[in-house]
Structure 1
């Protein structure tokens, strides 16, 4: 497929751009005009909904599409380039059909150029599905839907040695060392403490200090199963459909996929998605739901006891996402509130599961 030019802001893409794209895709349609509107509050990419008015619309011509493009923030652009976010998102959709499309929006067009960091992802519009709200949190039924999708993701490449052949996938044997080594991530905690000092209580600082000090050893100490993982599996990256929809939830923002621990996605999601008050009430039932969903996908050699142990271990992961992302992407009012909320919830998750004692053994 040829590559329509991307030398303008996504909100200024013309009918001609989509007519060229549709011609390449075999869509029988001619766009007369369109409207473009930014959606979401992405920290790394810009999301735009396109609504089309056609001169001619054959079968299959979409009424709307959603596009994802490079961020307008220089800080976020630099981060995306450094960490390979745009490349991974495109390669994920191109490489993993057992996952892409089943628990994600269908991708109609993908484009990435390493030299320029050019990036475009054109997807089906999941409306009227509604984006999850990280700040508000969700109830146990929505959480079960999300964890069922996690089971689909993880089971698709459970202990799959082929993952190690992808040098663009985080954590594989072929991948280069991460751009941010654990020691560098730990160093971001100091900057976070300084920036948000007025919002941090002693109990949060105690957990954060203990985790940051243990980070270089923490990741390497895991010896459980591995799978294809999302690594930012949280409510803001989920679109929940009305009852009866073909896809109950669509997972988006595949900029950080990797070969990793399935329990990492699970602990990160449960710890951040449920409020401090609600998580302890439903934690055990949600873990059992995920374990059952794995079994339904054919994974029967992973005991619930091992899942529970690994869940405790990875209750720390969301802490590093909270302070790491806060220091690497553009700072916004909602971003500040979200990262602080995540930090508080994950620190409570660590304490409720007596996970600090695990660090003492490192």
Structure 2
């Protein structure tokens, strides 16, 4: 087998390549033709849907598959290499069966080349699932689906010391230091503030400035429980199942997976996923919903009060994702709108929950 995404353009993959793949993984089928079409608006990776025409289609042969490959943007490629995104996503699917395939698409094929930082991920197609929309926000029902998946993710490796055995996983004791120091992240805020100054209000700038000043100590100042965390747990990385979809929800884009604070994923999702109008009305109920799902999954040593304090603390994290990504990946019109929307929502989340009192 050639190595798609490593040896050539994934849009040029042939029927023969997929026949070799199906032979290797035990799917009884013969592909006689296929179409390949780019889908999605990924900032770091490119996605392709493959639709198959079969000469012979045995049981279990997929009508379609989706592949994920390196970005076509040089800026995004450089960012992915610096931050280890591609290797981390491939290794996640290979390493964590309690999560991968359960709240994610099932992966049929993974590949990564250390020398070139090229990768490929061939997954089940979640169609007719619908991708979440970061700009539009989501309903309470969809937020509950997302938080139920977060509880599955976090409970699976709650306080699990074996996470430290994976040097490629962010935040472990064996992982290299982060590619960006807290001071460098704070510098990205200064660049973001200058680039988008006409679109930032004083209240948002105040929260951003306070967070940037606190960053050198922020990450280590509060020690709560740890688990396997997604770290980009937001609507654009979620596929919500409709009638006929294979899963009620599939979480994708595991390039930032790590060992971290479970409340980080929760604060990030609620802060960015609900609109400024709706979040305050439903925030506490959603936190209690997530907490109840954790208890159902066997996590009984984490009080709701501790969760809420961790939630307040980690509500700042979404701001660094918004301004950091905006300055590190290719700039697009939708990207600008999305990152500014996220930043404003997280600044409001910090203020509504008196988060500034924790760092000033």
Q: Same fold (TM over 0.5)?
A: yes
Q: Establish whether residue 45 from structure 1 lines up as the match of residue 45 from structure 2.
A: yes
Q: Secondary structure at the match of 2:315?
A: helix
Give the corresponding residue for 1:57. 57
Tell whether the 8 Å contact from 1:132 to 1:239 is kept in structure 2 after alignment.
Answer: yes
Question: Following the alignment from structure 2 to structure 1, what is the Cα–Cα distance between the partners of residues 334 and 154?
Answer: 30
Tell whether the 8 Å contact from 1:3 to 1:111 is kept in structure 2 after alignment.
Answer: no
Give the corresponding residue for 1:142. 142
Tell whether the 8 Å contact from 1:192 to 1:327 is kept in structure 2 after alignment.
Answer: yes
Give the CA deviation at 1:136: 0.3
- Deviating 4+ runs (over 2 angstroms): 2-8, 242-247
Q: Establish whether residue 79 from structure 1 lines up as the match of residue 68 from structure 2.
A: no
Give the CA deviation at 1:283: 0.1
Give the corresponding residue for 2:161. 161
Question: Following the alignment from structure 2 to structure 1, what is the Cα–Cα distance between the partners of residues 45 and 276?
Answer: 29
Give the corresponding residue for 2:188. 188
Question: Following the alignment from structure 1 to structure 2, what is the Cα–Cα distance between the partners of residues 350 and 4?
Answer: 45
Question: Following the alignment from structure 2 to structure 1, what is the Cα–Cα distance between the partners of residues 160 and 173?
Answer: 12
Tell whether the 8 Å contact from 2:3 to 2:111 is kept in structure 1 after alignment.
Answer: no
Q: Note the residue ranges of structure 2 that are not aligned, 5 or more in a row.
A: none
Equivalent residues in 2 for 1:254-269, closer than 5 Å: 254-269=254-269
Q: Establish whether residue 320 from structure 1 lines up as the match of residue 320 from structure 2.
A: yes
User: What is the CA RMSD across the aligned residues, in angstroms?
Assistant: 1.2
Q: Secondary structure at the match of 2:35?
A: strand
Give the CA deviation at 1:54: 1.0
Structure 1 residues 143 and 244, CA, compared in 2 at 3 Å: closer, same or farther?
farther
C-alpha distance after superposition, 1:66-122 (max 9, x if no partner): 000000000000111110000000000000000001100000000001101120000
Tell whether the 8 Å contact from 2:49 to 2:64 is kept in structure 1 after alignment.
Answer: yes
Q: Establish whether residue 4 from structure 1 lines up as the match of residue 3 from structure 2.
A: yes
The worse-fitting range, judged by mean Cα deviation, of 242-251 and 135-144 is: 242-251
Equivalent residues in 2 for 1:206-285, closer than 5 Å: 206-242=206-242, 247-285=247-285
Give the CA deviation at 1:161: 0.6
Q: Note the residue ranges of structure 1 that are not aligned, 5 or more in a row.
A: none
Give the CA deviation at 1:305: 0.3
Tell whether the 8 Å contact from 2:128 to 2:244 is kept in structure 1 after alignment.
Answer: no
Give the CA deviation at 1:247: 2.6
Tell whether the 8 Å contact from 2:64 to 2:124 is kept in structure 1 after alignment.
Answer: yes
Question: Following the alignment from structure 1 to structure 2, what is the Cα–Cα distance between the partners of residues 273 and 24?
Answer: 40
Question: Following the alignment from structure 2 to structure 1, what is the Cα–Cα distance between the partners of residues 160 and 245?
Answer: 30
C-alpha distance after superposition, 1:238-294 (max 9, x if no partner): 000126866311000000011000000000000000000000000000000000000
Q: Secondary structure at the match of 1:43?
A: coil
Give the CA deviation at 1:7: 2.5
Give the corresponding residue for 1:290. 290
Q: TM-score, normalised by structure 2?
A: 0.98
Give the CA deviation at 1:63: 0.3
Give the corresponding residue for 1:132. 132
Count, aligned residues? 359
